[in-house]
Chains A and B, each alone.
Chain A
Amino acid sequence: MKERTLSYTLMVPAFLIVLATTLYPLAYSFVTSFREWDLTKQRRPGDFVGIENYVHAASESGFQNSLWVTTIFVVTSVIVTVVLAMSLALLLRREGRLHTFTRIILILPFAMSPALIGVSYRFMFNPEFGVLAKGIGAIFPALEGTPWLASPDLAMAILVITDVWHWTPYMTFMCLGGLASIPRETEEAARIDGASNLRIIFGIILPQMKGVLMVTAVLKTIFALKMFDQVVTLTGGGPGTSTETMAFFIFNVGFKWFDMGYASALAWILTAIMMIISAWYVRMLLSERKMATA
């Protein structure tokens, strides 16, 4: 009994730190989301306004726009990343010196800081001196001098490209892990049974990768929903508001316009979306495990 008391006592400091750094801000922002608090006018949170901040979100055009931008960004970057990662994994799964080398090289984009990626890509797509802009211009002369980041669609495309570039390696490794766990005999049996290479990939390998691909897609979705650094350093949300993702918009509401109440409400909406996806993810993981041990 004494030992148990002691062990709980020893846990108190850690618990206090978690409380102070995580739970308290969370609770505070939750409470704030039901208050009016304009930092330019008042230093302390103002009156409780019920769910007014949430109601406001339903009709306010800035948030509506960010929701739309985020949806486009998440859907395209998740699809492109997962497809690319799976394809790369299929190419890289064989053993061999070249494959090992490529796998090592693949680590690099993931090791880079997202903010730095944004800055690098801004330089590389600069129409005057950017290496990628010039390279594309050399291959397709019609595109020479295109102001890449000045067009809403192209800016979004480049934002997606940087994100895909950043995340594909990590997702490739997840897919490689999944591929390694597929028994070699299933593919060999299909080869003997007379399946073509494409048929083996789509009929034998991908169905067995279903679980891994779902997990990859859900994880990527959560990461894409939170994406912030690249928007700041690459497009700054522009041109106009065409790349203002939710995370970026919430930041602006809170720290540019100092509407803390509204920003908190928006942050909690984003959190709710991610919590729903996470819950789904956990449920899927559990059912996967159940299937694996069956």
Chain B
Amino acid sequence: MAEVRLVDIEKRYGSFVAVAKQSLTIENGEFLVLLGPSGCGKTTTMRMIAGLEEITAGDILIAGERVNDKPPKDRDIAMVFQNYGLYPHMTVGQNIEYPLKLRGVNKATRQQQVQDTAAKVELDALLGRRPSELSGGQRQRVALARAIVRTPKIFLMDEPLSNLDAKLRVTMRAELKHLHHELGVTTVYVTHDQMEAMTLASRVAVMREGRIVQLDTPRKIYAEPADLFVAGFIGSPSMNLVNGSVTAGRFRAEGIDVPVDLPDRDSVVLGIRPEELDIATDSSAPVAGKLYALELTGDSTLVTMRMGKTSVCARGPADFEAAINEPCYLTPKAGARFHLFDRNSGQRLDG
């Protein structure tokens, strides 16, 4: 267990900035998720912590000790690689056993731990196989097992569930969360799946183009996205974002007219989550347009409507039915939150 501090770290490849100069402290025992679209520098950040990538500038401290010049094996970490990094010439069992073997664990203990770990990731039946005889999801679980077979100071996991099917992903997510609860090992977890981030994280660092744009608890990130990028990235379906302007305490755009607490200004983006909109029958409802699409998701129906160029989506009851291209009305639920952003800077305007 250890605290990880990144102090003014930066990573450049030639003149290309992969990770911009910034600091980040990962608390002892925390489950920190690095979330962002592909290419935003998540893997690079993780590899710098692991010691696989030299840092261009700054310091990395693990448990208070500067580790810039320490090789990976002396940092006491375990890592799950995005593309597995399994040893192809070893069986699944030998792969999982290898870290223990290298750390001098005796054979009986080793075998017991391999068995236990394999059971956790549902690999018990495959211990004798070679990685080349496994599916992508199975390989990913071997990579996961190889990391969690030991209890290191820090876990680094680079999209460890990305290749699993939906059902197994949910099971594994719970397994990881439980494991973290049991061991309390500081974990840095990379994903581009906001759902995974929300469910697993103590805190989420949302990254964009090599920069952390918001670092907060999942709840805070969902409730108060710091800018348009985070607002659009978190939540599924994503937040409705409508361009408009504020005059006399009302936000107005084509088909929309709602009261907001903001002085007059142009170039405002209003954000509202689909789950905070209700379907209305009344033509005086604050959001009005034409019904564009209905998508049944099982427990609810996603209602998409169009007003001019913008479209707005709402989560309605599962039994909602209406004719496409007919007028349709939405109204914010009681207590619904309007998010207001500056259209040019993307920054959040209200508190």
Interface residues of A (CB under 8 A from B): 183, 185-186, 188-196, 199, 204, 207-208, 210, 291, 294
Contact = CB atoms under 8 A, between A and B. Distances in A.
A72 B237 CA distance: 73
Given A183-B83, A193-B73, A291-B132, 18 more contacts: A185-B85, A186-B86, A186-B87, A189-B81, A189-B87, A190-B98, A191-B52, A191-B73, A192-B50, A192-B52, A192-B77, A192-B79, A193-B78, A193-B98, A193-B146, A195-B102, A199-B102, A208-B89
In the complex, the 9 A-B pairs of residues with the closest C-beta atoms, listed nearest first: A185-B85, A189-B85, A207-B89, A193-B99, A194-B102, A194-B73, A192-B72, A185-B81, A191-B72
A186 B133 CA distance: 17
A194 B85 contact: no
A194 B89 contact: no
Contact of A193 (B102, B132, B133): B102
Contacts of A188: 50, 52, 72, 81, 85
A199 B77 CA distance: 19
B contact face: mostly helix, strand, loop, or mixed: mixed
A145 to B, nearest CB: 50
B348 to A, nearest CB: 39
A204 B99 CA distance: 13
A189 B146 contact: yes
25 contacts: A185-B81, A185-B84, A186-B88, A188-B52, A188-B81, A189-B79, A189-B87, A189-B146, A190-B87, A190-B98, A191-B71, A191-B72, A192-B50, A192-B52, A192-B72, A192-B73, A192-B78, A193-B73, A193-B98, A193-B146, A195-B102, A204-B87, A207-B87, A207-B89, A208-B89
B103 interface: yes
Contacts of A199: 102
Nearest to A291: B132
Contacts of A208: 88-89
Contacts of A195: 73, 102
Contacts of A189: 79, 81, 85-87, 146
Interface size class of B (residues with CB under 8 A): 20 to 34
Nearest to A191: B72
A189 B144 CA distance: 12
A68 B76 CA distance: 55
B87 A194 contact: no
Contacts of A194: 73, 99, 102-103
Contacts of A291: 132
A186 B85 contact: yes
A165 B78 CA distance: 44
A210 B87 CA distance: 13
Nearest to B102: A194
Nearest to A204: B87
A183 B102 CA distance: 21
A201 to B, nearest CB: 13
Interface in B229-268: none
Nearest to B132: A294
Contacts of B133: 294
Nearest to A184: B85
A236 to B, nearest CB: 46
A192 B77 CA distance: 7
Interface in B49-77: 50, 52, 71-73, 77
A199 to B, nearest CB: 7
B146 to A, nearest CB: 7
Contacts of B79: 189, 192
Contacts of B146: 189, 193
B105 to A, nearest CB: 11
A293 to B, nearest CB: 9
Contacts of A294: 132-133
A179 to B, nearest CB: 14
Contacts of B52: 188, 191-192
Contacts of B85: 183, 185-186, 188-189
Contacts of A193: 73, 78, 98-99, 102, 146
A195 B86 CA distance: 14
Most central of A192, A195, A207 by chain B CB within 10 Å? A192
Which of A194, A199, A291, A294: most chain B CB closer than 10 A? A194
A186 B90 CA distance: 11
A214 B99 CA distance: 29
A194 to B, nearest CB: 4
A86 to B, nearest CB: 16
Nearest to A294: B132
Interface string B311-345: 00000000000000000000000000000000000
A116 to B, nearest CB: 42
Nearest to A187: B85
